[in-house]
Structures are given as structure tokens and as C-alpha cells.
Structure 1
């Protein structure tokens, strides 16, 4: 299995600039083919996982609200936090500028991804 984080500043700046431009509208939108699909943000302290369940490997944890490119969603483990629960998990790339990492090919629980609904309209199934 390949390592999923990249610590190069050049890669972070290039992908970060692309996702920043996509995120200006504040809603999930179709992205140009060069990104992971739909621009979104992920809440602070969210675990980025190897599979759509809480027993899978954690590749990283976001340090603050972080930009993401969502490629697709699937139904995985149901998770409930507080009064909200969902079995929707999103797959894509997350950029954490604070620690200088890009996490590619990771799963994010739907309750941590700010897209408005689970699953978000327009995001295809995986």
C-alpha cells in the first residue's frame, strides 16, 4: 500500500490553489477534471481513513476546518455523534495547510464533511 500523505510545498500550493478557487461559491460544485471532483470542507479534528468505517486505519486527523476535493460517496458504517448520524462516507483528497500534508485517496465520514446533505446532491456514488 502506498503512503497517502505528501509533504511537498509545491504539491500543496498547486492543489490548494485549485481547491481554493473551487470553494469560493460556498457549496459543493462540479470541479474541473484536474481535481478530485467537488469542493468541500472537512471539520476540525476529523479522522481521514483507509476505508468507510471507524475500525480502518487513520491516515491523519485534520487540525482545523480543511479544504477537500470529494470524488464520490458510499454507504459504510453508520456513525452517530450527538444528534446526527449517517452511513455516508466521502472519498477524496484533503489538504491540511497547518501541518503541510495532502491526504489522497482517503475516506471521510459524512458528518464531518460540510456539503449540506448526506449524500450531497451531484456527488456520484463510488
Structure 2
């Protein structure tokens, strides 16, 4: 299995490319031309997983609201947390600047991704 996070030193090299991929934060928007992801944010304390279910491996947990690039969504395990229920899971990349990690190819439960609706309009199905 490939390692899903990069060290702080290596993360610095990737951040420049990732920032152009992510653009603004807060809502799902099309990324700049040529990128295949939608810029958004992920809630603090969100588990980043290997598959769209809560029994899959956790690659990391966000330390605060953090930037993400969402490539697509799928229907996975239905989860209820904080009064919200959805079976939508988003696939993409999350950058946690506080700990200097970039998590690539991870699944995020829809209730933790700030896109406004599940599934978010404009984000393709995986």
C-alpha cells in the first residue's frame, strides 16, 4: 500500500501545486481550468479513510477546518452524526497545514465536507 501522507519537508514541495488546485474555500466550486477537483473544506476532527465506510482504515484526522480538493462522490455506508445523515462519501485530497500533511486518495464522509448538499451539484459520481 502506498503511504497516504507526506512529511513536512516533502509537503512544502507539493503545497504550491495544491494551492492552485484548491483555490478558494467554503463552498464547492470548480477548480481552475485543467484541474479535476472541486475546492472545498472539511470539518475539524474528520476521519480520512481508505474506503467509503467507517470500518475502513483511517489515514488521518483533520485538526481543524482544512482545505480539500474533491474529485468525485459515491454512495457508501449511511452515517448519522451531529444530527445529519447521509450515505454520500467524497474522494479526493485533504491538506492539513497545522501538521504539515497532505492526504491523497482518501474518502471523506459527506457530513464532514462543506459542499452544501449531498451529493453536491457539479461533482461527478466516481
- Give the TM-score normalised by the residue count of structure 2: 0.90
Q: Is there any run of 5+ residues in structure 2 with no aligned partner, and where? A: none
- Give the TM-score normalised by the residue count of structure 1: 0.90
Give, in angstroms, the shift of residue 14 of structure 1. Answer: 1.0
Where in structure 2 are the equivalents of 1:21-100 lying within 5 Å?
A: 22-23=23-24, 26-32=26-32, 35-100=35-100
Contact 1:12 1:100 in 2 (8 A): no
Change (3 A) 1:30 1:116: same
Contact 2:11 2:102 in 1 (8 A): no
Residues 1:11 and 2:13 are matched in the alignment: yes
Corresponding residue pairs, total:
124
Contact 2:21 2:37 in 1 (8 A): no
Give, in angstroms, the shift of residue 31 of structure 1. Answer: 1.2
Match of 1:2 in 2: 2
